[in-house]
Amino acid sequence: MTVFAAVLKRDLSLAIRQSADTFTVLAFFAIATVLFPLGIGPETNTLARIASGVLWVSALLAALLSLDRIFAVDFEDGTLDQLVLCGEPLVFVVLAKTAAHWLTTGLPLIILSPVLAVTLHLPAQGYGALLLALFLGTPTVSLIGAVGAALVLGSRRGGVLLSFLVLPLYVPILIFGTLSVEAAIIGVSTKATLALLGALALFAVTLAPWAAAAALRQAAE
């Protein structure tokens, strides 16, 4: 846990110093979302019908922009080698770096999402489900992304490979997240879809750190 706290504190400090990375993610999220009303038109019913899907797709693509920086900087400057050789459990390092990624990417996306939902005329009934679904789904995005980022370390065109690796795995998150919002809008219980998002998060936090740790050891060799 000492390693977890130290790595988390370090990554958060670096993220604060390099706040442009977080701004880039949020700017992409905002621009991608706002482009839909401009392209489709201002018809309220049409925008409200696609609002949940647009927000989720934009959030997933925005998070994808920042995944490669989870381990890439430490790999390039040799810090990763020291972390692997220090003898401490690498799983805690992965968890700390994933938590830092979520706090600097996933959490800001959640905070910004209600503001952008207004531009898409999302019905009022869907806001609570949107926030809760994002809160359950974005940690899974970071965990799966950490595995992909570890697998492509040191490869040429790693960003392209990362996209091919993780985007198919994001499909269940997108489906259940969108269904949660739509169910809330029409007055249907969201317990089932939110429970599935929670189950995905538990599954990811159980397996993803170990998979990412194994990939990091392989990359360090």
pLDDT at 1: 62
E strand spans, the chain: none
pLDDT band at 95 (very low <50, low <70, confident <90, very high): very high
Between the alpha carbon of residue 80 and those of residues 111, 159, 184, the distances in Å are 31, 19, 44
Q: Each residue of 122-159: b (16+ CB within 10 Å) or e?
A: bbeebbebbbbbbbbbbbbbbbbbbbbbbbbbeeeebe
Q: 11, 100 in Cβ contact below 8 A?
A: yes
Q: 12, 99 in Cβ contact below 8 A?
A: no
Instruction: Average the pLDDT over 118-128 and give the result.
Output: 91
pLDDT at 44: 83
**What is the per-residue pLDDT across 68-90, written as a single tens digit (0 to 9) for each?**
888 877 777 777 777 777 767 78
Rounded to whole angstroms, the Cα distance separating 157 from 170 reads 21
Q: Is pLDDT of 114 > 80?
A: yes
First to last CA, the chain: 25
Tally of helices (H runs) and strands (E runs) in the chain: 10, 0
Q: Other CB atoms closer than 10 Å to residue 9's CB: what's the count?
A: 12
Instruction: Average the pLDDT over 143-159 and give the result.
Output: 81
Cα 23 to its chain centre, rounded Å, is 15
**What is the per-residue pLDDT across 167-180, written as a single tens digit (0 to 9) for each?**
999 999 999 999 99
pLDDT at 108: 93
pLDDT at 27: 94
Q: pTM of the predicted model, to two decimals?
A: 0.90
Rounded to whole angstroms, the Cα distance separating 125 from 138 reads 21
pLDDT band at 162 (very low <50, low <70, confident <90, very high): confident
Q: Any idea where the domains of the chain sit in the sequence? A: 2-220
The residue with greater pLDDT, 165 or 87, is: 165
Q: Is pLDDT of 193 > 70?
A: yes
pLDDT at 220: 66
pLDDT at 184: 93
